[in-house]
Structure 1
Amino acid sequence: MCAKAIIGIKIRHGGLQYRGSSASTLAGVNMTIPAKQWTVLLGRSGSGKTTLLRYLAGLLDDQVEWQGEIEVSGNDVSAENIVLHDHIAYMAQQDLLLPWLNVLDNVCLSSRFANVAPNKEQDKQRALSLLEQVGLADNAYMTPAQLSGGMRQRVALARTLMQDKPLVLMDEPFSALDAVTRHKLQTLSVSLLKDKTVVLITHDPQEAVRLADQLYVLQGAPAQAQQLDVPESSPPRKLDAECAALQQAILDQLEKDYE
């Protein structure tokens, strides 16, 4: 399947339990992740958000048992002929830049592990173009230690885009940034990932309201997914009275797990 494929996912009655554990992490999860939209997950620490993302990325295959159905849809895609994690880019909370490589080489890193022989000059030009898009064209030959936290996350975003995968999983990538930098990176990410299917984990109700096309709160033990309606306006949203009301609804939903 080519990198331009469109992928959507439906999870039906999903359950997940770590091998050797007496309790399930997730149970009865029903969730729709539409193609080319942002699906945002919230929940208390330990609710299973990151576990679900890591399972979708194929990082937990030997550690967990899964129950339920995962239906993958898209052009030339079916559950029978796709290995889902082959078509996923993963952006974590930490930028995970290699300190001994410069910015450009960090962005090009994924091409070293691709299934096709790399074209170093072509990869370099594409990486430079992506760095220009994230506002770091003049920093291509700096080391990560020379960059601010926001700049490092922009490098991580460029590296994610360099992979050109149809499904992007983002695990709190903006949480360590100051409010203004976070706001700018949210807006930039929506623009650059507009043709991707994105699943974002966040602990920030405001971030969820700004970015979500679909919004789920994982709660309970084992956790289930509760869907909340989002405003009709397109992300990234300006924060108005409707958004403020949704933020309060999210907090009310999350507080139920602390009672």
Structure 2
Amino acid sequence: MMNPVDGTGFSRESTAEVVTKLRCRNIWKIYGQRPDKALATALGGSEPPLTLKRRLEETGHFLALADVSFDVQQGEIFVVMGLSGSGKSTLVRCLSRLVEPTSGEVWLGGENLLAASERRMVEVRRKVMGMVFQNFGLLPHLDVLDNVAFPLRMQGMPPADRTAKARDMIELVGLRGRENSMPLELSGGQQQRVGIARSLAVDPELWFLDEPFSALDPLIRRQMQDEFLRLQQLLQKTIVFITHDIQEAFRLADRIAIMREGRIIQIGRPADILLTPVDAYVASFTEEVSLAKVVTAGSVMAKLPGNWDASRGHEVDAATPIEMLLPRSLAGTQTFVITREGEGPVGLLTSEIIAKVLANDTAQRVVR
């Protein structure tokens, strides 16, 4: 790992105060006739994950989640990724209690959702959480406007108010003019935009997206990722995003949790996971990902010298991937001044730092 002080390492891209919005502690989900007994068995041993899972299966139980803990910071995109059957979709359903965990805690702010009544959880899902799923979930007998307004109708919002809010959301996702279209008249990408608009209509504090783009063809999927990033730039939601696609995870995430057999095996920023995978399983996920696409200018910048002349260097945003700066660096730009909205110049990026990133990427691939 490089050292952030001398400009050759990875540092956090924001100095803003970290506020934890969602805290998950020791979440277990075991399916079967006696999940509590199976959990006691699991907690009482020290078996490797695969051995425990197989032993529980012999008693008629299925281990879906095993001791999952993580925090999600306010305003971040927290991506949970893994192969089919790794437990990621079960996890997001446990967070919203669409599936009841066998054990654990889920804290939203200061409230433990696993201790909340079902009536309270209905209120939370209607007013606090937004959810988008792979299958769009649109009501086929309602047009776009009424689909988007549906959760507001369930809240009891007056018709004029919910129609106005729905129109705002439809315009936000780029579907102005399609308010009266029926779902079957829309393309897959348009249908998912309606689903996104509907989930945002309630102005959720917490936004869950479970494989929202996996049913789309590659070109539309890329466009929807762009749209998703645009919306997040505007809205700054706290997001848990589920995917099995490593390229998608690395493109969208502030941090990534990688799951296997119901457990989280590594959590980190994309660059950290790419450079320091905890094992061969994680390394196999990341071998096709280019470091230059993942590492941003703000994550490898050097500190500004005390006597720095603000007029020197080309300004670039801290979130700019190194890959986008390569042409200018090769053309002769020696120094970039790194800026961040609301803070002005925050660091320097030199051609030497960029060269080290590329050399590190090459070295990683040779090792693998």
Match of 1:72 in 2: 108
Q: Distance in 2 between matches of 1:143 and 1:43?
A: 34
Q: State which of 63, 78, 96 in structure 2 corresponds to 1:39.
A: 78
For the residue of structure 2 that corresponds to 1:52, the secondary structure is helix
Residues 1:15 and 2:55 are matched in the alignment: no
Q: Distance in 2 between matches of 1:125 and 1:71?
A: 33
Q: State which of 198, 201, 219 in structure 2 corresponds to 1:162.
A: 201
Normalising by structure 2, we get a TM-score of 0.57
Q: Deviations over 1:63-114 (max 9, x none)?
A: x412x333333xxx43389756432111000111111111111111111211
Q: Deviations over 1:134-177 (max 9, x none)?
A: 11111110111111111111111111111211101101001111
Residues 1:223 and 2:263 are matched in the alignment: yes
More helix per residue: 2
Match of 2:98 in 1: 59
Q: State which of 206, 218, 231 in structure 2 corresponds to 1:179.
A: 218
Q: Distance in 2 between matches of 1:52 and 1:205?
A: 18
Q: Distance in 2 between matches of 1:100 and 1:205?
A: 36
- The answer to whether the 8 Å contact 1:57/1:90 transfers is no
Structure number with the bigger relative contact order (C-alpha 8 A, sep ≥ 6) is: 1
Which structure has the greater CA radius of gyration?
2
Match of 2:252 in 1: 211
- The answer to whether the 8 Å contact 1:89/1:165 transfers is yes
Match of 1:108 in 2: 149
Q: CA RMSD in A?
A: 2.9
Q: Distance in 2 between matches of 1:158 and 1:34?
A: 23
Match of 1:3 in 2: none
Structure 1 unaligned segments of length 5 or more: list them: 1-5, 253-259
For the residue of structure 1 that corresponds to 2:23, the secondary structure is strand
Match of 2:345 in 1: none
Q: How far has the Cα of 1:237 moved from its partner?
A: 7.0
Normalising by structure 1, we get a TM-score of 0.79
Q: Distance in 2 between matches of 1:239 and 1:145?
A: 42
Match of 1:147 in 2: 186
Q: How far has the Cα of 1:201 moved from its partner?
A: 0.6
For the residue of structure 1 that corresponds to 2:102, the secondary structure is strand
- The answer to whether the 8 Å contact 1:209/1:237 transfers is no
Structure 2 unaligned segments of length 5 or more: list them: 1-18, 34-59, 272-294, 299-317, 325-356
For the residue of structure 1 that corresponds to 2:22, the secondary structure is strand
Q: How far has the Cα of 1:240 moved from its partner?
A: 3.9
- Evaluate the alpha carbon distance shift between residue 211 and residue 51 of structure 1 in structure 2; reply closer, same or farther with a 3 A threshold: same
Q: Distance in 1 between matches of 2:263 and 2:24?
A: 14
